[in-house]
Amino acid sequence: MIRYSVLRGKVVDHRREDDDPQSPHFTIFVEADGRRIRCPVNVRSTDKSEVWFKFVEDLRHPVVDELRLMDEGIVRDPERRLRLDFIREPLFDRLTMRQLPFTGPLPQDDLQDRIAVFAEQARVNREADLFVFGEVFGGGGGQGVHDIHMNQGNNQQHRSSDGVFQDGALIFRFPSTGWLGFFTAFNSQVWATDNDGHRLQGFAEGPLARFDEPAPDAGRAEPMAEVAIVAALLNPDGPDQGKETVTLMNFTTREVRLAGWKLLDRQDKAESLQGRMLDAGGSLIVRLRGDGAQLSNNGGSIRLVDASGAVVDSVTYSKSDAVSGRLMRF
């Protein structure tokens, strides 16, 4: 695991790195509490493969509401509400991630060009804020934040850095256009991980890997069931207890037995699905009892895990999504 931290500050400078083909970084310099903090962002892997990235404009996620309340400076080992996990509380669709070279001769033809657009906007607009998620490094008060990328599902070489709810990212807040997130991952990482963030065996590497297909070369004979959370009644009319629902959909042509499966909320409270079954192509409405998983009206997440503990699907919602008496579709 890493020494996870979150930084809030103002962008004062940024710098490209084009002459290091081994491990180049785009560095953003952030001022917070009178200190200048260096934040290097990997724009190429040490194995010389391009990193996978995703920009998300108008970012909506429970963490956004928490960031509004955060003071300037660095929060070390933050509470769960200020932590990111790309798998358990997704901020984007991993299948839409893409790659670009770290450097190129033309405008907007490489990853550093793309990051620079928003870093420069934040630099010239003193009302803008940057939130950096990663690991603090350096002496005393902390001279930098790095590991600003996915930090789980690593190969053996980087396995010691694995953990859950410790993924790195950049999140910009612009007064006029709102929240924008920048997220990266390496091609060598696996997007199916256990409760320690270690890769599960039998799943292919990279964000575009399909888990609904067998991966015998990776040692897994059966695919992960393609079951999704498609809707939820987050805020029923009247008292919530015993009225909240989560709707599951089976997108396969075979029945799926849910023995050992669970629904988990953001506090890891569980609703057992023992004895339930999804028909081929069928749906299931799960009414939450009220003493297990609960759907907070202030924003949260819902995770569907199978008997092995693997995350089959996960969704997030914000406070504004929890409209009374209205079904939320994911």
Whether residue 51 is found in the same domain as residue 178 = yes
pLDDT band for 186, please (50, 70, 90 cuts). very high
User: pTM for the full model?
Assistant: 0.90
Domain boundary residue, one of 132, 159, 185: 185
**Tokens (6 digits) for 183:** 């997220």
**CA neighbor of 87 nearest in space, from 219, 199, 225, 248:** 199
Whether residue 32 is found in the same domain as residue 152 = yes
Cα distance between residue 254 and residue 226, in whole Å = 10
**CA neighbor of 287 nearest in space, from 259, 234, 246:** 246
The answer to whether the beta carbons of residues 79 and 69 sit under 8 Å apart is no
Instruction: Give the highest mean pLDDT range of 128-132, 134-138, 203-207, 323-327.
Output: 128-132
**Residue-wise pLDDT tens digits, 44-99:** 999 999 999 999 999 999 999 999 999 999 999 999 999 999 999 999 999 999 99
319 burial (CB, 10 Å; 0-12 / 13-18 / 19+) is middle
- Considering the domain boundaries, does residue 157 fall inside one? yes
- Considering the domain boundaries, does residue 210 fall inside one? no
Determine the distance from the C-alpha atom of residue 184 to the mean position of all C-alpha atoms in its chain, rounded to a whole number. 10
At 120, is the secondary structure helix, strand, or coil?
helix
Backbone Cα Rg of the chain: 20
CATH of the domain at 301: 2.60.40.1260
Tell me what the mean pLDDT of segment 181-204 comes to.
Answer: 94
**Residue-wise pLDDT tens digits, 229-253:** 999 999 999 887 889 999 999 998 9
Whether residue 259 is found in the same domain as residue 167 = no
Our count of domains for the chain comes to 2
Residue bearing tokens 């997108």: 251
Whether residue 28 is found in the same domain as residue 158 = yes
- Considering the domain boundaries, does residue 209 fall inside one? no
> Hey, CA dihedral for 59, 60, 63, 69, is it positive or negative?
positive
Whether residue 181 is found in the same domain as residue 259 = no
Domain boundary residue, one of 185, 214, 244: 185
The answer to whether the beta carbons of residues 97 and 54 sit under 8 Å apart is yes
Domain residue limits at 321: 224-329
- Considering the domain boundaries, does residue 268 fall inside one? yes
Cα distance between residue 259 and residue 32, in whole Å = 50
Whether residue 177 is found in the same domain as residue 290 = no
Count CB-CB contacts under 10 A for residue 274.
11
Whether residue 175 is found in the same domain as residue 113 = yes
Whether residue 169 is found in the same domain as residue 229 = no
- Considering the domain boundaries, does residue 155 fall inside one? yes
Query: What local confidence, expressed as pLDDT, does residue 242 receive?
Result: 87
Whether residue 149 is found in the same domain as residue 285 = no
**CA neighbor of 148 nearest in space, from 42, 253, 69:** 42
Tell me what the mean pLDDT of segment 179-194 comes to.
Answer: 96
Whether residue 171 is found in the same domain as residue 266 = no
Cα distance between residue 176 and residue 173, in whole Å = 9
**In the 8-state DSSP scheme, what is residue 37?**
E
Structural element, H or E, at residue 117: helix 111-124
Query: What local confidence, expressed as pLDDT, does residue 210 receive?
Result: 80
- Considering the domain boundaries, does residue 100 fall inside one? yes
324-329-330 Cα angle (round to 5): 130
**Residue-wise pLDDT tens digits, 285-316:** 999 999 999 999 999 999 999 998 889 999 99
Whether residue 159 is found in the same domain as residue 98 = yes
- Considering the domain boundaries, does residue 200 fall inside one? no
Whether residue 229 is found in the same domain as residue 130 = no
Domain boundary residue, one of 185, 207, 242: 185
Q: Would residue 140 be called left, alpha or beta, if left means φ above 0 and alpha means ψ between -120 and 50 degrees? A: left
- Considering the domain boundaries, does residue 275 fall inside one? yes
Burial state string for 181-191 with b = 16 or more CB within 10 A and e = fewer than 16: bbbbbbebbbb
**CA neighbor of 31 nearest in space, from 115, 129, 121, 116:** 129
